[in-house]
A and B are shown apart, each in its own frame.
Chain A
């Protein structure tokens, strides 16, 4: 018993260490080199130096947004894998991210401002939810959702939406930069305001997801068995997918489509700590946040003076991992 508590303490310590070191690394590197002493002085002692603006108004909000977005995507990925009982599912493979991007692009192009500053975010959310439902109902036959159909429908809808986005881009060349930002995923325009808006949705969302760990564990037995143990499967799915859509909408409206992170982070946790969702969700969030901070930091410095968008970074890293999972599942005969 004590051994178990000790093990958990060690795990959490390692995770927090990873998170904090990723944070420091991401804050420390960038186009402008700021020495360590200066960083500490600025952050902890409020010293006013030349680099204060770069650090406090550009780098820090950007790193913190990366942490929040990464945590959100990873938690959502883990939860969706649990709901659909499939390791290849996340908000990206099901087309939710493309839906969000299309919603955002729509609001940019039309210039609608009905929700003020949050308009793009609201449209991103609407895009996410409608895509999710479209994909879900496309793959629902006779009250059953086949996972293979779900993935295929996700990919098909995702392609369809992407081509609509391409079409819109073609027709609106003057807004190309803005749109490319959404489709590739980038954190370059991060501000404190964006951080506050996105974290006010993502943090409570991720915390809420954590409450359903036990139910998600039971869902691993299959929907039918979960029903027999007293889980209201349909209600659970609606609640969780609703929260996930909110989080994905907030993520995409802040940073565009960031692929594969939601797929990879939960699997790293599964490989090390197993599939218990009561741990998988918070651990995935910490790892997802760390990975996105690192990916964004690397994207900033690898090809200076230009930047690799963070969505491109995660897809480059995540694509091969996806193939690895696919092969692994195939060899299992599932």
Chain B
């Protein structure tokens, strides 16, 4: 594999504070890579380590086959150029002069700029479509135009790697698209490697070949946009509830934020039996719709447990990796009894959590409406040598138990709520 940039065991400290923790990454030549993560996760610091504006205390950055530590500043600037957020000038310069500054690493102090330098500058300006205002002053331009000038300057350096630190913040939508389109085309046509810090997850999804998600100075995960931008990852890394689907036009992953504050309060009380992440999406959806929810029995630290806590639900909880104890079982039963509806999600079943299903056969719940969400994979989920399957069969024969499909559930509950009140 042809890697343009390789990062090995990179650690960086600001004073005593460890900002980047043991980062190992490879960037393939010609790829568009986005780095996402919440504020303070080390994104910008990471870029500054790649450009050697900051020097890591530990680890290596390789540019092609060369260690960046062994290159001079001029040599680095011939290989890597950086487009920062937005540059303001105290002393104004003409656009063409600013782009020409990008030739600095190539220009001889005594000989000055050559015809070749001028040609390269003109090409860069043509590419970013700023030739028509090459004689205007930078500070007179709009935000999007300014950013194109800075991009042209970066191109005049003739780099192999383009680092972009939130290149589209503060820009109007049309300019955001314009800048990212230009960068994308550079990766596709010129084989340039673009590594960009982006705030907008959907922009990252739309343009990136690879997304790297940072949390607290570590790589939390990396991969294709659809692999990285999942409800679970975003909930964990950004501490935010989102729903993920596909952009109907491009087919790319699309992230919708969901507000925790629901407008409507519903009366129907629902108890959800879930675990291992089966409940995340449903809890988010139902909480947003304003239902009164409880969950159980969940091991502390489980992603369903985490999301329940975030929505401040009543949870029957158990110590991590432990079988359900009598106490937790009773609490779960209590929560189920005071609710109007109980839902069983397709959870993986073993000896340690079989009590969650057994609960539903308890005679105290014989009049409770119980919905079992089907997924036709019961055999695969069963690690109890058939015991769980037996319980399911028993349950499905009960008059108060209704099997439902995943996508019908929401509507059924909304109707039930309307009849309830």
Contacts and interface: CB of A to CB of B under 8 A. Distances in A.
Interface in B21-76: 51, 53, 73-74, 76
Interface stretch (A15-23, A160-168, A218-226): A218-226
B401 interface: no
Contact of B84 (A224, A275, A334): A224
Given A270-B91, A276-B93, A231 B53 contact: no
A57 interface: no
Given A211-B109, A230-B74, A232-B73, A217 B53 contact: no
B390 interface: no
A228 B81 contact: yes
A230 B97 contact: no
Nearest to B107: A214
A328 to B, nearest CB: 12
Given A228-B51, A230-B74, A214 B89 contact: no
Given A211-B109, A214-B109, A218-B101, A225 B73 contact: no
A224 B92 CA distance: 17
Contacts, number: 74
A221 B104 CA distance: 13
Contacts of A221: 87, 89, 98, 101
A29 interface: no
A232 B153 CA distance: 18
A237 to B, nearest CB: 14
B73 A334 contact: no
Nearest to A87: B90
Contact of A87 (B15, B88, B91, B94): B91
Contact of B73 (A86, A217, A231): A231
B82 interface: yes
Contacts of B76: 230
Contact of B91 (A214, A230, A232, A275): A275
B84 A225 contact: yes
B77 interface: yes
- Secondary structure of the A side of the interface? loop
Contact of A86 (B14, B90, B92, B109): B90
Nearest to A270: B91
B102 interface: yes
B105 interface: yes
Interface residues of B, number: 31
B109 A274 contact: no
Interface residues of A, number: 27
B97 A214 contact: no
A303 interface: no
A140 interface: no
A214 B87 contact: no
A5 interface: no
A82 B89 CA distance: 11
A85 interface: yes
Contact of A220 (B14, B93, B107): B93
A327 interface: no
Contacts of B88: 334
A32 B165 CA distance: 67
Most A-side CB within 10 Å, residue of B77, B91, B102, B153:
B91
Interface in A262-287: 270, 274-276
List the 5 closest pairs (A to B, CB-CB), nearest first.
A230-B77, A275-B91, A230-B105, A228-B82, A230-B74
6 contacts: A87-B90, A221-B89, A228-B51, A230-B78, A232-B73, A334-B88
Interface of B: 14-15, 51, 53, 73-74, 76-78, 80-82, 84, 87-94, 97-98, 101-102, 104-105, 107, 109, 153, 157
